[in-house]
Amino acid sequence: MSTVESNKDVLNGVFVFKGTRVPVRNLFDYLVAGDSTKDFLEDFPTVSFEQVRHILQSAEVAIENSQAA
């Protein structure tokens, strides 16, 4: 499943949730600020829960892999 996309014509190539103009970075900004994924999804209704779940699982795997190296 492709969750993100980058297109130089959409927000200058920033990674966004596929099919939206919502930068992936916004999700992490929300979480760092103490907001919940529910808050994020309410504020960005074009992003699905499945997309958020996939991004967070991918981040978890990346962190685990970097610690194992």
Structural domain that includes position 38: 4-68
Range 25-31 average pLDDT: 98
Range 39-64 average pLDDT: 95
Q: What is the pLDDT of residues 2-17, one digit of tens each?
A: 899 999 999 999 999 9
Compute the C-alpha angle 31/15/8, nearest 5°: 150
Q: How many domains does the chain have?
A: 1
pTM: 0.88
CA of residue 38 relative to chain centroid, distance:
13
* Residue burial 55-67, b: 16+ Cβ < 10 Å; e: rest: beeeeeeeeeeee
Residue 25's domain is classified under what CATH number? 1.10.10.10
Cβ(51)–Cβ(18) below 8 Å = yes
